[in-house]
Structure 1
Amino acid sequence: MASRMVPKVNSKQGGSPCQEKQVVLLSPLGRMEISGCDKGVHEIKLPKPSLPPPGRAEPLVACEVCEGAEELPEPLQQCTAWLRAYFCEPASTGTLPLPALHHPLLLRDSFTRQVLWTLLNDVKFGEAVSYKQLADLAGNGRAARAVGGAMRSNPIPIIIPCHRVIRSSGDSGNYGGGRPMKEWLLCHERLQKEKLAQGGGCSPAPAHNHGSSA
């Protein structure tokens, strides 16, 4: 279900500074803050980590833009459309373009950039890899620790799916949005992949309330 379309990275240096815009997407995980310009997405900020409420998870909330919806540059429009599809209609992400990306980490040649790009291209929806496996895929099997650093540095989570990188033991491991969020994302993808394989409908996984960004 993951999109096969590779997002563009605007590599132009110099020129006028970015006219940054921001938009807030109210997702099943909470408020996601997305920033970018007409050259590409700069960053996706996940909700702050919090523990899920006791008992059963809450029903899925609507996934919609709640702030900054007017006059968004195309990359932010594409980003919010892709994220809404990811949460609510995962099967449709394969027909949507991924937005251009415009973060300095993705513009300069480095092993971190290679790891993030490999993760985006090679680890599909509903799959998971270990840090060691991702290091192998990125061309340096001895750099599992560096892969961990790349995951912590990822400026575009979910679109660049660092939640799909787990420990060799099968433990989910750490995540910028907190372990419960990582486990929710993995469960969401696994359930949707199973439903599609069975020819079922597209009913997203139940969500925990992970709080809001400051």
Structure 2
Amino acid sequence: MTPGLSSMTAQEPSLGACVLESTDVHTVCGTITVTACGRGIHRLDLPLDEENSCRSSPYFEPFGKVFPKGKAKAVLMADCLSQVHEAADKVTKHPHTENYLDWCRKWLQVYSYNPKQASACPQPPLHHPIFLTDSFTRRILLALRTEIPPSHTVSYGHLAAMVAAPRAARAVGMALRRNPVPLLVPCHRVVRSDNSIGGYAGRRGIHLKRLLLQHESLSHNSF
């Protein structure tokens, strides 16, 4: 069994035949609980109420390895990236829940080291119901996932215009609040038109949004 994988499974009526399993992942913003089925990722639950967890996370020990003292950062990063690709290849051959969780965990750990490198890595597929049928929310979330890379932000209005709904800026905020997979769909990169930080998970996660933007080298004074 994958280390840290919950031995309990849950079947949610709204998700049909999806049997869900979860695991905890140590990241730059604290411990995230990742939930998946045998077809993809369903949820990433961030530690919204644990502001101090960001400072104590052991994300700097990637994949449970202890690297030799003085090992070049580039070599360490190459090793991390190769593990993400190996995890993706393994899922192609053996599409099981544990393998999707492993893939997501390794991607999150690369993101914690270097967001730009993570954006070049394959992300695990998403299988939450929001992503399975066409809707305004799905279009907004997929546009954000594919079009706004690390170290970039987008306003609510601009994101609405990207899906041909330029007057729907307020609806964008509602769509982002329904995002079940933050970081994989980077709703922290959406800010107000005046470049102020805006909300995140209502307003409970403002400290996480600020930390993630700074992690991606966007430490504007207004944040």
| TM-score scaled by length of structure 1 | 0.72
Task: Map residues 29-178 of structure 1 onto 2, 5 A cutoff.
Answer: 29-51=29-51, 58=55, 61-62=58-59, 73-176=98-201, 178=205
Could you tell me how far apart the structure 1 residues matched to 2:114 and 2:152 are? 18
Query: CA contact under 8 A between 2:23 and 2:35: conserved in structure 1?
Result: yes
Q: Deviations over 1:133-172 (max 9, x none)?
A: 1001111000001100111000010110000000111111
Larger RCO (alpha carbons 8 Å, 6+ apart): 1
Could you tell me how far apart the structure 2 residues matched to 1:58 and 1:29 are? 8
TM-aligned CA distance change 1:29 to 1:149, over 3 Å = same
Shift of 1:191: 6.1
Shift of 1:100: 0.9
Query: CA contact under 8 A between 1:26 and 1:65: conserved in structure 2?
Result: no
Query: CA contact under 8 A between 1:130 and 1:166: conserved in structure 2?
Result: yes
Gaps of 5+ in 2: 1-14, 65-95
Could you tell me how far apart the structure 1 residues matched to 2:214 and 2:102 are? 27
SS at match of 2:217: helix
Q: Which residue in the other structure is 1:18 paired with?
A: 18
Runs of 4+ in 1 over 6 A off after TM superposition: none
Shift of 1:103: 0.3
SS at match of 2:158: helix
TM-aligned CA distance change 1:62 to 1:146, over 3 Å = same
Could you tell me how far apart the structure 1 residues matched to 2:120 and 2:209 are? 25
Could you tell me how far apart the structure 1 residues matched to 2:138 and 2:111 are? 23
Could you tell me how far apart the structure 2 residues matched to 1:60 and 1:22 are? 19
Gaps of 5+ in 1: 1-14, 193-214
Q: Letter of the aligned partner of 2:110 in structure 1?
A: A
Q: Which residue in the other structure is 1:179 paired with?
A: 206
Could you tell me how far apart the structure 2 residues matched to 1:125 and 1:91 are? 6
Shift of 1:61: 3.0
| TM-score scaled by length of structure 2 | 0.69
Shift of 1:90: 2.9
Q: Deviations over 1:4-47 (max 9, x none)?
A: xxxxxxxxxxx971221111012232211110011000100000
Q: Letter of the aligned partner of 2:179 in structure 1?
A: N
Q: Letter of the aligned partner of 1:62 in structure 2?
A: Y
Query: CA contact under 8 A between 1:23 and 1:65: conserved in structure 2?
Result: no
What's the Cα RMSD here?
2.6
- Bigger helix share: 2
Between the two proteins, the alignment pairs up a number of residues equal to: 171
Could you tell me how far apart the structure 2 residues matched to 1:131 and 1:16 are? 33
SS at match of 1:154: coil
SS at match of 1:80: helix
